[in-house]
């Protein structure tokens, strides 16, 4: 047995394997490490419980099972009723050795709180580990299992899983050469929404020290709204909204109900699909108040923040499967009103982004509404409360689909992980990456490493008087003040939970 592949942890010995993508051969990958018990049977809809003790040496050389999920969205992991339900597992990439005290990056995958897995090739942590980080990727409960409101059970079970994983990191990461007193938790999209929620969760305090949040969605829901969604599930499933009745159903039944709950028919009879029906639930003991409210009060001011978004976020959805149609001016005004924007704000958008047709104007507005404005407001709120925040914006445009995707949602992921040759990277880059793409990836990875190690991303932080923005592109730019022409439009628009 190769001693370099076997790690002695406080709860047992774990055997990994050389990371296949390691360019210098130093990175060891441990996969499928259980950090909590399978969340089914007596643990269904409950807070995560401790895993079974390790007897002898546990082989950690293959990906662990993903959480139950359907094929609703791009990024869904392969799951079937035959898949093991021991899904609360994590992966560790490390080239450090015990005692090295390397900075730790814990990755929370995105996927609309519905799908995803830490073992997706895009999230391969090998190159980040070669760059000096110990990288941990976490599987957690998604969909109804993780975020559905079940009376008598804790809300936000997926977030509680992440807290359990962070406790595992605190207790075990020294064995992999990591420093438990220098932990950054990072995520993109729903993963970013999750890590921002962790900033406001009492049980997560002290478990991490920095946050990287890419394309943070602003959607959090109140308990009453979450209950309405669950009532719809119970109606579709034909059972009462009770823990015992729901726990008697196999996961695939809940996944089939998710498909039906997400499917809607518009006034013209066209079938459309919302991206998600779940989000962090505000109002219970797990997450007492909305993250922005807690951050504004200074509850997270000791946590350093690196956050940003992509210039054309919503194009990923408008060009890949979402039925986005704007049938005239009245339809545009009606859609924007649901976002909190009135005719004056829509007119201001036209002036800020002239020449766009109604559909493209709406797509631009949706990108700001879903990701851009919340991301910037998060950084500014944190800075105003005494926190430390850096802001970026990815402007590099994808050449895929004739350039229609632009700087779309998720384009940053293969750059941040150095996985430009992954399936997602090859799609978004329309083939092999260029030298300019690889150079940008190196700059972004270096910024992650610098921030995770020291809290300094490499450009000035936000102040109460200015929001400096790093523009990532083939040639980067640094603006002393946010150059976006639409920020003023959103000033005063409420981003409170629904």
| Mean per-residue pLDDT of the chain | 94
Which of 109, 209, 390, 409 is catalytic? The answer is 409
CA angle 66, 69, 70 (to 5 degrees): 135
| 351 shares its domain with 474 | yes
Q: Higher-confidence residue: 468 or 496?
A: 468
Instruction: For residues 446-461, give the mean pLDDT.
Output: 97
Residues in the chain: 498
Residue 334 sits in the same domain as residue 296: no
Residue at 282 is within a domain: yes
> Which residue is it, tokens 């995707």?
405
Q: What is the rounded distance in angstroms from the CA atom of residue 215 to the CA atom of residue 203?
A: 24
The pLDDT value given to residue 497 = 80
Name the least confident of 49-53, 68-72, 161-165, 377-381.
68-72
Average pLDDT over residues 28-38: 98
Domain-located, residue 312: no
Average of per-residue pLDDT across 440-467:
97
Task: Give domain status of residue 199, yes or no.
Answer: yes
- Residue 267 pLDDT exceeds 90: no
**330 lies in the same domain as 282:** no
Residue 268 has pLDDT above 50, yes or no: no
The mean per-residue pLDDT over the stretch 264-291 comes to 75
Is 280 within a domain?
Answer: yes
Whether residue 334 sits in one domain with residue 238: no
Domain that holds residue 235: 1-300
Q: What's the structural domain count of the chain?
A: 2
Residue 361 has which token pair? Answer: 């104007």
Q: Which residue has the higher pLDDT, 304 or 72?
A: 304
- Whole-number pLDDT of residue 320: 87
Asked if residue 295 belongs to a domain, the reply is yes
SS3 188: strand
Specify the pLDDT at position 270.
39
Given the residues 189, 215, 230, 398, select the one marked as catalytic: 189
313 is catalytic: yes
Shared-domain flag, residues 267 and 352 = no
CB 88 within 8 A of CB 119: no
Return the percentage of the chain with pLDDT > 70, whole number: 97
Confidence of residue 233 (pLDDT cuts 50, 70, 90): very high
pLDDT at residue 227 tops 90: yes
Packing angle, helices 343-352 and 329-337, rounded to 10? 110
Region 435-446 average pLDDT: 98
Within a domain: 193: yes
Q: What CATH number has the domain bearing residue 136? A: 3.40.50.1820
Instruction: Count CA within 13 A, CB hemisphere, residue 269.
Output: 0
From 268, 300, 332, give the residue that closes a domain. Answer: 300
Do 379 and 232 belong together in one domain?
no
Model pLDDT for residues 145-198, shown as the tens digit of each residue: 999 999 999 999 999 999 999 999 999 999 999 999 999 999 999 999 999 999
Q: Does residue 121 form part of some domain?
A: yes
- Residue 321: pLDDT above 80? no
Band (264; pLDDT cuts 50, 70, 90): low
β pairing state of 134-138 and 57-59: unpaired
**Residues 326, 333 contacting (CB under 8 angstroms):** no
Instruction: Evaluate whether residue 305 is within a structural domain.
Output: no
In the predicted structure, residue 113 carries a pLDDT above the cut 90: yes
Examine the residue annotation and report whether 409 is marked as an active-site residue of this protein: yes
Cβ neighbours for 263, distance < 8 A, ≥ 6 positions apart: 271, 272, 273
**DSSP track, 389-450:** EEEEEE---B-GGGGTTBS-TTTHHHHHHT-TTSHHHHHHTTSSPPHHHHHHHHHHHHHHHH
Between 358-367 and 329-337, two packed helices, what is the crossing angle to 10 degrees? 10
Q: Are residues 218 and 106 in the same domain?
A: yes
Shared domain check, 495 and 355: yes
> Which of residues 269, 300, 331 is at a domain's end?
300
d(CA 341, CA 77): 36
Are 226 and 256 within one domain?
Answer: yes
Predicted local confidence at residue 159, as pLDDT:
98
What is the β-pairing status of strands 221-222 and 281-282? parallel
Residue 225: in which H helix or E strand, if any? helix 223-237
Whole-prediction pTM: 0.96
pLDDT at position 3, please? 60
- Residue 476 region by backbone torsions, left for phi larger than 0, else alpha for psi between -120 and 50, else beta: beta
Please determine, for residue 20, whether its predicted confidence score (pLDDT) is greater than 50.
Answer: yes
Say what the pLDDT of residue 2 is: 66
Residues 296 and 328 in one domain: no
Q: How far is CA 288 from the centre of its chain?
A: 21
The answer on pLDDT for 408 being more than 60 is yes
Establish whether 189 is a catalytic residue. yes
Question: Which of these, 47, 45, 114, lies nearest to 285 by C-alpha position?
Answer: 47
One domain for residues 282 and 168: yes
- The residues near 82 (Cβ < 8 Å, ≥ 6 apart) are none
Query: Are 351 and 444 contained in the same domain?
Result: yes
């Amino acid at each position: 047995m190769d001693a370099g592949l076997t790690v002695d942890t406080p709860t047992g010995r774990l055997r990994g394997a050389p990371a296949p993508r390691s360019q210098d051969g130093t990175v060891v990958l441990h996969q499928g490490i259980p950090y909590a018990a399978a969340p089914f049977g007596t643990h269904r809809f409950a807070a995560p419980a401790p895993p079974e003790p390790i007897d002898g040496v546990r082989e950690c050389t293959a990906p662990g099972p993903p959480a139950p999920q359907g094929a609703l969205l791009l990024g869904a992991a392969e799951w079937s009723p035959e898949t093991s339900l021991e899904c609360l597992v994590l992966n560790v990439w490390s080239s450090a050795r015990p005692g090295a005290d390397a900075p730790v990056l814990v990755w929370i995958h995105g996927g609309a709180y519905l799908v995803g897995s830490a073992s997706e090739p895009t999230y391969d942590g090998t190159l980040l580990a070669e760059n000096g980080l110990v990288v941990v990727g976490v599987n957690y409960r998604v969909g109804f299992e993780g975020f559905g409101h079940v009376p008598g059970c804790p809300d936000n079970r997926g977030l509680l899983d992440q807290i359990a994983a962070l406790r595992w990191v605190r207790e075990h990461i020294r064995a992999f050469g990591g420093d438990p007193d220098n932990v950054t938790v990072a995520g993109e999209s729903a993963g970013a929404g999750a890590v921002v929620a962790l900033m406001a969760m009492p049980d997560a305090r002290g478990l991490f020290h920095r946050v990287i949040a890419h394309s943070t969605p602003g959607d959090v829901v109140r308990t009453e709204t979450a209950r309405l969604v669950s009532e719809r599930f119970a109606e579709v499933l034909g059972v009462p909204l009770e823990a015992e009745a729901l726990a008697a159903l196999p996961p695939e039944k809940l996944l089939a109900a998710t498909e039906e709950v997400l499917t809607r028919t518009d006034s013209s009879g066209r079938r459309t699909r919302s991206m998600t029906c779940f989000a962090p639930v505000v109002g219970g003991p797990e997450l007492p108040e909305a993250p922005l409210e807690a951050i504004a009060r200074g509850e997270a001011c000791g946590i350093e923040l690196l956050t940003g978004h992509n210039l054309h976020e919503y194009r990923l959805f408008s060009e890949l499967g979402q039925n986005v149609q704007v049938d005239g001016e009245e339809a545009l005004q009606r859609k924007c009103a649901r976002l909190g924007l009135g005719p004056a704000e829509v007119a201001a958008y036209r002036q800020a982004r002239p020449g766009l047709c109604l559909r493209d104007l709406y797509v631009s507005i949706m990108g700001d509404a879903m990701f851009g404005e919340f991301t910037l407001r998060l950084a500014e709120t944190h800075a105003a409360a005494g926190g430390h925040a850096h802001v970026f914006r990815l402007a590099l445009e994808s050449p895929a689909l004739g350039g229609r995707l632009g700087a779309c949602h998720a384009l940053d992921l293969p750059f941040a992980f150095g996985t430009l040759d992954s399936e997602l990277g090859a799609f978004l880059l329309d083939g092999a990456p260029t030298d300019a793409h690889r150079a940008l990836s190196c700059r972004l990875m270096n910024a992650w490493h610098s921030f995770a190690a020291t809290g300094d991303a490499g450009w000035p932080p936000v102040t109460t008087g200015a929001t400096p923005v790093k523009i990532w592109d083939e040639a980067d730019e640094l603006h002393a003040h946010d150059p976006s022409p639409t920020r003023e439009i959103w000033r005063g628009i409420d981003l409170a939970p629904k």
